[in-house]
Structure formats: structure tokens, C-alpha cells
A and B are shown apart, each in its own frame.
Chain A
Amino acid sequence: MSAVRKGPWNAVLRRTTRLSPSCSLLVFERPEGFPGAAPGHFVSIRVSDSTTPLLRRPYSIMDLTGSSLSLLVKAVGRGSAALRAARAGDRFDMIGPLGGVPFPAPAGPEAVLVAGGTGLAPLLFAARSWRRARLAVRTTLIYGAATGNELLRDLVKAAFGTYRFATIDGGAGFHGDVVALCRDLVSRGRMPAGTLYSCGPRGMVRALDEAAGSHFSAHYTSLEEIMACGVGACRGCTVPVRSGGERVLKAICSDGTVFSAGDILWEEWEE
């Protein structure tokens, strides 16, 4: 057996907090022996003892300290419903940390992080990690949600130097999505240059890269997909990317979750 173990862990839920109508914060006790993790890594949780739903559910790590592991869970389907219904003291079968390439640290003094919805989780982990490592980096978060009451403001305020909000309904911050806000900031000369980090729906990330990618020295994005094994074996979560002039399929779970957005062959990557 490999020296490092990735579980399965018997993870105890320490507390759960409803942060918005659709989003909950789940804080687990860090299982004994749980290895270190980097932003963009994830855990995969068995949400029920039954076989429906069958697969584990992958969640980006939002924070990992010596004693706790935090996840952001948005109501989507059966898996998230089971997690959101859990109470302090409940135990979950968890594997992780999973993932290959995490978010690299910024090469320069400026980092812009663009989050759509729960795409906030790995970006929050990134900002917290850089702060703990005392990196000299200014962080600007651009964060969008459908409505004002879906914005997780308290989480954001503590973690980022500067933040801007966008809401589809105009209930808070910029009226529109994060891509429109980024386009607006770039056109008005108000967008810092530097390294761009993103996480959110596929359409958002693609549009963001097309609208603003060239403004930045690099654009790293953490991708999401339905996963089965989580370790690169089943080839169920592949994304076509350019690599050394060739088209190759990478497994999001084990080759990512972080990719250079400019390498992704969006037109070939079907939903």
C-alpha cells in the first residue's frame, strides 16, 4: 500500500451553517492522517448508505486547517440535499484530498479571482493559503450570484483585499454577470493586470477567457464535472486540451482540477 492514504475517511461533521437560501457551509473535523491539500484539490463524499444516488459527490476544499475541513454545498440535486440535511455529529465516508494540479501561486504582485456561485470555494482556499504563506500579493475578487441574498458576503470580506459583486437581478453590486463586470472593468482601465484565477460554470469560464483572458499574464481555472472514480482511472471526466501542439484528453480529477484556460478546446468539450 502506498505510504500516503487518501481514505476512505470516516469524517465527522462538526457544524453546518446555512449561509444563503441555497448554500451551506459544512465544517468537518479533519480526519486523523488526512494529508495536506492545495487550492483546487477536492474531496469526494458518499452521501448515503444506499446505492441511490450511487456515486460519491466531489466538492472543492474551501479550507483545510490542522483541525478542520470546510466545504461549500449548494442545493443542486439528491447528493447535495443529503449533505445539507446533515447535522453536527453525523459521519460521512469521504476520500481525499484528490486532484493533481492545484492553483499555482501568483507570479507577480496582483491576483484577480473570478467566482461564479460556489466556484467561490477553491478561490477562497487560494486566497487564504497565500495569506497564511505571507505571499506579497494583492487579491481582487470578482464574484457573481443570481441574486443579492445568494452572495456569501461574510466569507468574502475576511479573505480578499478587494472585492466586487455582480448579480443577475441587479440586487447587489454590478447588474449583470461576472463576465460583463470584468469586461466593464477592463474597458474602463479599472482591472488590475497580473494572474487570473477562476471557477464557475463552464459557460462563464469560457466567456471570461474570451472577454478578458488576454488582459492577464495567465488564466488558471478549476473545472467541474460529474466524476466516478475521482482518481483518473475511469476516464469519465475528461476535457480536451492543447498540450505541446497536440490535442489530448486530460482527466479533470487527476490531471486538474486546474487547467490553463487558454489550453482548453472549448468547442470540442461538450456538455
Chain B
Amino acid sequence: MKARDAAFSIGPAKFRNPVFLASGPAGYGTEYEELIDLRRIGAVVTKTVTFRPRAGNPGRRLWETSAGLLNSIGLENVGAERFFAEKLPRLVEAGARAVVSLGAEGWDEYRPLLDAAAAAHIVDAVELNLSCPNVDCGGMSIGGDPALVERYVRAAREALPEAAIVAKLTPNTADITILARAAAEGGAHAVTAINTVLGMDLRGPGLEPVFRRERAGLSGPAIFPVALDAVWRIARAVDIPVVASGGISSVEDAEKFFAAGAAAVEVGTAIFYDPGLPERIVDALEARGAAGPPGAKPRKRRKR
């Protein structure tokens, strides 16, 4: 039996399959060339780029927890100029499909970043990181406000009219479906759920905070149920596709996301300990012969 095509689309952007590497762990993608066949992956969602280069946070940046990983990287990145001139072309040359993650500390940084992305001409899909918990302003402080989510998404649609616009949502809010609706209202082609969950840890004889910023972002299998719940509820609240991200550690987890209503999945922290997992998920999708992801097609259901 010939495996059928798993190709799918988000808005105007086509992907060979719905298995992505998640922004953050994926870096600029090419770091994994000797471990992962990037040409078999649906897309690499690149490490969030900001208009200006960022050094990231001082002090400890990683801390292992039970079935999880706390990080406080702080959006360290090379900035828009080097990203669009060097990192992104290099990833495309390697045969990968890129989704560019954009982040901003505020509107003044966001506009020139969108302009830089538009000027790069090779950007046809972006994921707006409206939800990083590890920076002072921007990130989660934008992503937690539905009005700002809508405004940032709309601006991206206007600046990049031919690109797919995906909004990545924070789970650190009372009701993530409100943010998903705001993104849809702003014209997002899809939402990604979820970014990391706020957490912290204490260490040493004095039980001091591990991180300089005290709070950090939790990822890994520990947050999978949180992500699954978010995906399930968002898929029933909006009509746009949901890209599921958060704690996938097995093919079975990916199947659960699809069954909950996800159109695509992102593998993040798992590539640190199991870089073969994204390709195994692709294998499973192809073996199933699915024209699209399996699972229930949730009907939009509005309360009231």
C-alpha cells in the first residue's frame, strides 16, 4: 500500500506534513542537520527573532524538573538583520520548510520587524510569539491581552499579506479561548497552543530561586495535559486551525493532539532527548495513509 500524502495548508502556506519543530528548542534549525532529516519535517519554526539582537537572560537558563524542563533563555537571538540575511537562507538551503517566529518587546519594535520580514521576500509563514514568559515587556504581557493579540495579528496580516499568520498563545491566562478568538478576529490563519507554562524552582541549602527572574517557562511531558486541554477547547471555539504544541513525547501524544482537533503538531523539548521523534510521527501519519491528520473533526460550539 502506498503511503498517501500528508500535505496540508495553513492559509496560503502549504506544508508537506503537519509535523513541525517548535520554536525555541529548534534553534535556527540547521543545528540539527546531523540528527534530524529536516527535509522530512513539515516545517521548522525558527527561534523567535526580534528586531534588534538580544543577549538573553543572565544566570542559569535551564533547570530539569519531574518530566519537565524550566527555561529562562530570554529570547537570545541574532536580530532581524542577521536572521533574514544568514540564518533563514541557510535553513532553506538545507531543504527545510521554515515558519518564522517573530517576537517584539512592544509596538515600536514590532513594526520594523514586520517590515524586515516583508523585505526578506522568502517569508511565507510566520508564528507570532505573543507569549514568551521570559522577557520583561512584550511576550506574555502582549499575549495575555486579547485586544493586543488582535492588534498584533492584524498588523502582521497587513504587513505580510501573502503569508500565513499564526498566533502562538500563552496558557498563562484564565481562558485561552478568549485569546484564540481575538487572534481569529485579527485575521490569524491559525493559532499555536501552547507556549510554556509559568513555573519556578528553588535550590541549594537556602532554597533560593534557581533563576534570576525567579519565574521561568515550563515545557516537556509535564505540560502535555495542559496543552491537550487548551487544544481541545480552542478547536471547539474557533474555526481556524490549531497547531498543537506542548509536551509531546511520543507518537501517541501526537495522535491525541490530532484527535483533540489539532491540524498540526509541534515537537519541542522532546527533540532534546529524542531527536528521532518528529520523523517517527511523520512515519506514523504516512503509514496510516491519512490525507490529513486523524481524529475527530470538532464542531465549533459556542456557549450561550
Contact = CB atoms under 8 A, between A and B. Distances in A.
B206 to A, nearest CB: 13
Contacts of B25: 228-229, 233-234
Interface in A234-266: 234-238, 249, 254
A234 B61 CA distance: 10
B33 A2 contact: yes
Contact of B272 (A1, A6, A228): A228
A109 interface: no
Contact of A229 (B38, B63, B271): B271
Given A2-B33, A229-B271, A233-B47, A238 B56 contact: yes
A257 B92 CA distance: 28
A contact patch SS: loop
B79 interface: no
A270 B58 contact: yes
Interface range, A side:
20 to 34
Contact of A235 (B35, B61, B272): B61
Interface in B271-298: 271-276
A237 B71 CA distance: 11
B contact patch SS: loop
A55 B31 contact: no
Nearest to B276: A8
Contact of A95 (B24, B35, B62): B35
Contact of A236 (B38, B47, B65, B73): B73
A243 B18 CA distance: 41
A4 B35 CA distance: 9
B273 A55 contact: yes
A52 interface: yes
Contact of A54 (B59, B64, B212): B64
A226 B221 contact: no
Interface range, B side:
35 or more
B48 to A, nearest CB: 11
Contact of B60 (A8, A233, A254, A270): A270
A268 interface: yes
A231 interface: yes
A95 B31 contact: no
Nearest to B71: A236
A232 B55 contact: no
Nearest to A270: B59
A51 B69 CA distance: 10
Given A238-B76, A249-B56, A231 B61 contact: no
A161 interface: no
Given A54-B221, A55-B272, A238-B61, A233 B55 contact: no
Contact of B32 (A54, A233, A235): A233
A232 B34 CA distance: 12
Interface of B: 24-28, 31-35, 37-39, 47, 55-56, 58-69, 71, 73, 76, 212, 220-221, 249, 269, 271-276
Given A54-B269, A95-B275, A234-B272, 10 more contacts: A6-B34, A6-B35, A52-B66, A54-B272, A55-B273, A228-B272, A231-B31, A233-B31, A268-B58, A270-B60
